[in-house]
Structure 1
Amino acid sequence: MGKIRKRKLNKVSNNVTSSNNDEEELPVDSKDNVIQTMIDQIQSANIEEKYCGLQTFAMLIESSESLKQMINQGIVKIVAPLLLDPAGSVRNAAAGSLRNLSTISLEACNMLMENDIMTPLVFYFHQYTESWTPDLDSKTKDEEIDTFVQCTNLLLNLCESSDLAVKYVGKSKILDIVPRYLDVSTFGVELVIAVMQLLFVIVEDNPLAIKKVSSTSERQLRDLLSIESSDSPALLIKTLTGGIIINICGGDIASLPIDVLNQIFTVLAKTLSVDHRLVCNELSSSVPLSDGDGKVVGPKGQEALLLDNKIKSVSRTLESQQIAIEIIANICSCEESDDTSEAAESSDSDEIGNDEPTSEDISSNGEEVFRPEDRLSPAVIEALSALEIFDKVWARTQLPPENVLMILQEYEGTKSIIRKLCNLQTRAFLCMNNIVLSLPLEIMGGINGIYKIWVEAGKLVFKQSSENLQLLEAATAVMRATLNRITLLNNVKPSESNLFSDLALSDIELMFTGIKNCEAPEIRSNLIRMIGILALLFVNDLNDTTSNVICSITEFILEQAHKENEVWVLAEAIDTLIDMYSEDNTDIIAAKVKLVEKLEILVPVLRNKARQQKKLPKDYKVLVTTVNSNLPRFVKYKKRRVAKL
């Protein structure tokens, strides 16, 4: 698995754009009339009318039905030009509303792009930010800063969702403008954080952006990385700075000066040293609880301000930890060594059935010559080990207690914390996938350490119900990665398969049920491969019990293969079977389950589905092509072997 960059929701919550209970103040009229009145107000020449219309727009965004109707009436092209309105209050209301609209979904961002949101947004930066500095004596200072923050986060959401948005930014003056806003003392933490979040995304794998930012911001970035404070805003700024510096060097972290490298890793460790469960527990103690009627009455005055600051602090802590985990995942990315990391899964060899480690894989004393961790530089491994990064990332896969989550979910102001916790957990599992395939075993607690990860991830996948498919996909990817790592070691030390000696057939059947009930092809694929790797481990310790388990797994995968609609998942299932039976000592089991006859039936099935489903991502297309080529040769090879029994 290579680098990860998942879309994040950067949503504002203020008096203009937040969801509240003011809907009863809307005129008691038909929805059509309400929307038309709103449009008339927005298009009015009167500032107060425009502002009122934008407030209505902000509230109606929360209703999917109303939003669909507004989009059909061209609301984006009506609101977007107000980013350039002469009245600051109107610009602020338009920016906040559009930013929240961009957080709804990927489709919402695509819709914004289709309605040419980038033209007025780019002009906003050119017109209002090129030389702007906040006037400390101005009554509208906070409003102007907030508008800048809203527009920056709107642009961030668009860039995370659309490559076209990134191209727009590259052709504009924005990357020449925003680096001047990296001075916390002049522009404040909110604006600096917004700008850095934007730069963090835009400079990744973007040579043009890298060139512009590196030429104008090197000194500022070094200064930000050295901020002495360790409060939540400072940790977020320093973590983002580390990520930007790494992205500027093209991900080649070993090319950085050793002092900068050490600074970045120290920042990452400090960021992940904050106990996210504890800060959420403490926050839940300050959140108002629901009364007997299920209503939650929010605090007021100074108490409300204190709670808002606590929520903001926890939010920044979770954001900084998510960014730190994404950085670590990219550092440990196996993108450059996919052939090695997938060694346990590969069936590309021309000589099917010869998967024993060769002399090139193992040295004369039985040690692996190329180890998974050899792809990382010694300095990186030393830093990851000394700062206990493995343990810190794994801790992020754990959520706070259920009662804490319930309290935070009930209060409107902390629902965003729940979303951030779930995003953090998912990113942590994705990061663990890369870590397991990259770090030395001793850093992870040896073979027993990664086996424990497999067990804990399995509890989440098979013993808990979850509607979060991204989380389940990440967790199954970790399970697959841990088994891959165990298999690589097992090729040298076959006794490691004893780790699974207590695994009962009922446990396997639980996995079967999970696969049958799984509607997400990515998760299905991971689970099918995972049970195949388990079978492969048992092949090294064949007896009546393990043979029965292998037979059960084989029959299940064959059954699933015939039911599978997605050609690349079908290819994954067939490739798994090829790996399982590539060893000559599996011939007897192959004959028992009639493997050859059943695979012969799948040859034309796979070929036909491949013809029908040609539009596939590159990785999936390679998998399908490879298996299409290997399957007939494997059938011919195994048929010859079984015939000799």
Structure 2
Amino acid sequence: MGKSRARKFKAAAFSPTALVKQPEGTEENGDCKNVQAEDLVQNLQSPSAEVREFACASISTLVQQKQIIPAFLQRDVVRCLGPLLLDKCMSVRETAAGALRNLSTCGGFDVCDDMVTRDIMTPLVALLRECTTGLDVNMEPTMKTKSLSKDCVEDIATQAINVLWNVCESSSTALSIFNKESCVDVVLQCLSKFPSNMELAISAAYCLHTVTEDNTDLLNSFDASSLQTLESVMLVPASTMEMRQLQTMVAGSVWNLKAMIPSSSQADTMNAILRILSEALSVDAGLYILEMKGVEKQRVSAAEAEAETEEAAAILEEATLSEENGMVDGCVKGTNRKDCVDFIPPANEELRQVAALLVAQRIALEMIVNMCCSEDPSDDEWEALSSSDESEMCMENSMTDAGGQLLTPLCLSDEVHSALLTHLIPKKVFEKTAFPNSSAIETCRQASTWKPLIAKLYTVQHRALTCLHNILSVLDVEALGGAPALHELAQHLSGVVFTQSEQGWRAWPTHFCAVDIPKKDDFLEAASSAVRALLQTMAAKGLSQCITPDQIMSLSEACVQSSNSSARVNAVSIIGITGSVLAKSGNAEDTLKSIGNFLLGVSSNDPSLVVSGAALDAIFDVFADGDEAEKAAVEIKLLQNLKKIQSAFKTKIRKEGKEKYSTDQLCVLDNVRTNLRRFISYLESVQRKSKP
């Protein structure tokens, strides 16, 4: 069987931090939501700074409802908000930047692209340049004479950097302007503020991580001083999870800029990057959640106790005064005390640190996925390639191993390979593929402010499964720890993927409303990719599979019902690997018949030619040799069924091929068509020989 293509992740799109908080009275004001977009846009032109600020804040709130965004865009809200980024009133600047941040975050790629078309970059770049002046400590006295405090400047810069990040992620035009205007200098200056303003630094790090990805034009804007700024962040001891998150994102930017790093420093740089990723993955997020929730409870209890003490003191003082004035009524009742939740900041420290850890772990896993991925990954649906390709059309564009398998050109540099093993990255990735700690999930479920962390926990597991697939694709058995380590991994994956308990894939949490939680189909794709890569590796080394055929069938049946075509391709590939191993062993005829019927069903009924072709390819592998395979083929009437499939398969390629599938996919489909004809001839010859 051919190896599956490695997955690659793009940098996360849009601001992950909370949407901009609005002044009191705007968030819960029902009348505000009923104000017409036209009135608010007109108010942006008001001579009153207070009216302009309120209009910005109201728009910032309303655009969080995606269905309202078109009404504002139709009234050219971007061109009206743009000049307010340079308003003479600093609070207007901040709320205007906040409105644009929420608009770009909630509107998505299309809205961001529209914002660039409406020339938001001109005032945005100008604002950021003014902010850099305000951020310069040496200029602070001058700026103070203009009623511009350092804190105010940094708050504005935080909002503006988020807008810059969003539009650069979505628009090549914005990215081109970013490069031309050397905006990276502004971003680096904001990043350097991490000792005093972590929120600004993290926003800058997100932006930098995005704009450095696949951006060769930016390399000229970096010099030794720029790299030293990044290095200084990476070398600071991570005393908080927010610092760990910041370092992980900076490490991602350095990885994106690796072409600039001298060859003599490559090994040290890769070690520094992988050390940071390893440290992020070393923390057990479930246990950390339980620990931080305990800290939060202690802090809230202390706040409650302090409040009660203050209340008692006030009551005692009042009683004393009343007694002195002869006003004691014989009964003193305390005033109503606020619920303890009122003492908890909206973004409390414990919650913020846990969220930072989970972001760091997600980014770390995505980076490792990309490190273990080909430099030119394909977005093709079909991630399985024919194992018996003899088509001249494809041979020129393929790489083959000694067994004739088409392989994705995956490779690792010596520096990356060594650093991955030195920092025990495979082991730490394996650990993260486990389902999240059930106690941590329940703890988060019981607190509304912590509930969004559930989605982040599952996202980390999803990324880890994809990461595991790529690691298995690029590291040899010895590097992974040899046969014992693979058997241990197989048992681990059996517990994660095949169990029917509440922690199994059958109970994937579809009931959560969190937007970011991976869908069950996506989980099946990631899990089946990991299983597929493991079985391929073990089969290639002749190692026992350790995963039972019943488990394989259970997973595959779930995958073929998925709407995710990659999961369906993985399913038939897993079945093919299992069947080809069983065909060489004894007492497997019944299982081979089940496998054959399963693959025939997919070949005949799947709506995608890609999946049908992969199923046929698996049939070739399973029934190509062996007495038991021949017996099973006769029992399920494989020859007759394949003849029926052949005609329909050829017709679908002719009718749908060029419209629905890429050149590479058509190349492989042509191989399958050719191999199907040859395999039918082979079965006919076997049948003739078996007749008396």
- Give the shorter-chain TM-score range: 0.7 to 0.9
> CA offsets per residue over residues 477-514 of structure 1, 9 Å max, x none?
44334444433443442x614x24x543xx45533541
Q: What secondary structure is seen at the aligned counterpart in 1 of 2:68?
A: helix
1:536 aligns with 580
The letter for the 2-side match of 1:531 is I
1:144 aligns with 2:144: no
Q: What secondary structure is seen at the aligned counterpart in 1 of 2:544?
A: helix
Pick aligned residue for 1:321 from 352, 361, 369: 361
Cα pair distance change 1:71/1:538, threshold 3 Å: farther
Contact preservation (8 Å) 2:52, 2:92? yes
Percent of aligned positions that are identical: 22
CA separation in 1, counterparts of 2:180 and 2:463? 31
CA separation in 1, counterparts of 2:176 and 2:619? 44
CA separation in 2, counterparts of 1:90 and 1:617? 50
CA separation in 2, counterparts of 1:427 and 1:109? 23
Q: What secondary structure is seen at the aligned counterpart in 2 of 1:463?
A: helix
- Gapped runs of 5+ residues in structure 2? 1-5, 302-337, 393-399, 511-516
The letter for the 1-side match of 2:213 is E
Pick aligned residue for 1:236 from 220, 245, 257: 245
2:536 aligns with 487
Instruction: Give matches, 1:118-133, under 5 Å.
Output: 119-129=119-129, 131-133=132-134
Q: What secondary structure is seen at the aligned counterpart in 1 of 2:134?
A: coil
1:113 aligns with 2:113: yes
CA separation in 2, counterparts of 1:184 and 1:435? 36
Post-superposition offset of 1:163? 4.6
> CA offsets per residue over residues 212-271 of structure 1, 9 Å max, x none?
235651222222222234322332232223222222124999874333333222222222
CA separation in 2, counterparts of 1:21 and 1:396? 43
1:222 aligns with 2:271: no
1:25 aligns with 2:29: yes
> CA offsets per residue over residues 75-96 of structure 1, 9 Å max, x none?
4454455434343322322322
1:464 aligns with 2:507: yes
The letter for the 2-side match of 1:446 is A
1:393 aligns with 2:395: no
Question: Normalised by the size of structure 2, how large is the TM-score?
Answer: 0.76
1:198 aligns with 2:207: yes
1:496 aligns with 2:497: no
CA separation in 1, counterparts of 2:389 and 2:434? 40
1:567 aligns with 609
Q: What secondary structure is seen at the aligned counterpart in 1 of 2:119?
A: helix
Contact preservation (8 Å) 1:490, 1:496? yes
1:47 aligns with 49
Alignment size in residue pairs:
609
Contact preservation (8 Å) 1:462, 1:510? no
1:525 aligns with 2:569: yes
Instruction: Give matches, 1:311-460, under 5 Å.
Output: 311-334=351-374, 346-350=386-390, 361=402, 375-377=411-413, 379-398=415-434, 400-409=436-445, 411-442=447-478, 443-444=480-481, 445-455=484-494, 456-459=496-499
The letter for the 2-side match of 1:311 is L
Contact preservation (8 Å) 1:458, 1:479? no
1:99 aligns with 101
1:184 aligns with 193
> CA offsets per residue over residues 50-72 of structure 1, 9 Å max, x none?
22222222332343443454455
1:263 aligns with 272
Cα pair distance change 1:13/1:21, threshold 3 Å: farther
Contact preservation (8 Å) 1:265, 1:383? yes
Higher relative contact order (CA 8 A, sep 6+): 2
Contact preservation (8 Å) 2:7, 2:377? no
Post-superposition offset of 1:436? 2.0
CA separation in 2, counterparts of 1:526 and 1:327? 23
CA separation in 2, counterparts of 1:253 and 1:633? 53
1:5 aligns with 10
Cα pair distance change 1:540/1:212, threshold 3 Å: farther
CA separation in 2, counterparts of 1:52 and 1:64? 20
CA separation in 2, counterparts of 1:319 and 1:463? 26
Cα pair distance change 1:63/1:196, threshold 3 Å: closer
Cα pair distance change 1:174/1:481, threshold 3 Å: same
Larger Rg: 2
Moved more, 623-632 or 92-101: 623-632
> CA offsets per residue over residues 508-564 of structure 1, 9 Å max, x none?
553354135422223222223222322222222142xx2222221221222233332
Q: What secondary structure is seen at the aligned counterpart in 2 of 1:441?
A: coil
Contact preservation (8 Å) 1:572, 1:623? no
1:634 aligns with 679
2:638 aligns with 595
2:345 aligns with 304
Post-superposition offset of 1:161? 4.3
1:16 aligns with 2:21: yes
Cα pair distance change 1:49/1:639, threshold 3 Å: farther
1:355 aligns with none
CA separation in 2, counterparts of 1:66 and 1:53? 15
Post-superposition offset of 1:448? 0.5
Contact preservation (8 Å) 1:588, 1:642? no
Q: What secondary structure is seen at the aligned counterpart in 1 of 2:571?
A: helix
2:397 aligns with none
Q: What secondary structure is seen at the aligned counterpart in 2 of 1:540?
A: coil
CA separation in 2, counterparts of 1:28 and 1:85? 23
CA separation in 2, counterparts of 1:476 and 1:15? 35
CA separation in 2, counterparts of 1:96 and 1:61? 11
The letter for the 2-side match of 1:464 is A
Post-superposition offset of 1:201? 2.1
Cα pair distance change 1:44/1:396, threshold 3 Å: farther
The letter for the 1-side match of 2:525 is T
1:248 aligns with 2:257: yes
Q: What secondary structure is seen at the aligned counterpart in 2 of 1:602?
A: helix
Cα pair distance change 1:91/1:595, threshold 3 Å: farther
Cα pair distance change 1:388/1:201, threshold 3 Å: same
The letter for the 2-side match of 1:598 is N
Q: What secondary structure is seen at the aligned counterpart in 2 of 1:324?
A: helix
Moved more, 480-489 or 552-561: 480-489
Q: What secondary structure is seen at the aligned counterpart in 2 of 1:27?
A: helix
Question: Normalised by the size of structure 1, how large is the TM-score?
Answer: 0.81
CA separation in 2, counterparts of 1:566 and 1:476? 16
